[in-house]
Amino acid sequence: GAGVSQSPSNKVTEKGKDVELRCDPISGHTALYWYRQRLGQGLEFLIYFQGNSAPDKSGLPSDRFSAERTGESVSTLTIQRTQQEDSAVYLCASSLQGTNTEAFFGQGTRLTVV
């Protein structure tokens, strides 16, 4: 596709339910990132995939959060047993391999836990 695509764009879920967020990166982009943005705040790094290397999971806030990526394609971010503090916009980005290449962001998934 022309850009990074995220789905769903909005998700309302009940506390305690699991949710799965999807990211389709730009074709050919080997790097993929997930960030969380709470209302009116900056970006919080969650996880980073680069090709077939082990992902950098250092930003995941708890073991309820996990992410997978198949090769250099789609990624899914899963949040288990959602809590109200998980409510945020989850942003995915991708970039080409190589140093200092800019990241291209999707529109985000707005997650609301009620």
Beta-carbon contacts of 43 under 8 Å, excluding residues fewer than 6 positions away, are 35, 36, 37, 91
Residue 83 makes contact with another protein by CB under 8 A = no
Residue 109, classed as helix, strand or coil, is strand
Residue 112 makes contact with another protein by CB under 8 A = no
Q: Tell me the backbone φ, ψ of residue 84, rounded to 5 degrees.
A: -60, -30
What is the nearest approach in angstroms of another protein to the Cβ of residue 66? 18
- Choose the stretch contacting another protein; rule: CB under 8 A; options: 12-20, 69-77, 78-86, 100-108: 100-108
Q: What is the DSSP code (8-state) at residue 86?
A: G
Q: Which of 21, 91, 111, 113 binds another protein (CB under 8 A)?
A: 91
User: Which lies closer to another protein via its Cβ, residue 41 or residue 83?
Assistant: 41
- Choose the stretch contacting another protein; rule: CB under 8 A; options: 18-26, 60-68, 71-79, 105-113: 105-113
Distance CA 31, CA 75 (A): 11
| Per-residue binding letters, 31-70, with another protein (x by CB under 8 A) | x-x-x-----xxx-x--x-x-----x--------------
Q: What is the DSSP string of 43-82?
A: EEEEEEEETTSPPB-TT--STTEEEEE-TTS-EEEEE-S-
Q: Tell me the backbone φ, ψ of residue 85, rounded to 5 degrees.
A: -70, -10
Tell me which residues touch another protein (CB under 8 A).
4, 31, 33, 35, 41-43, 45, 48, 50, 56, 91, 93, 95, 97-108
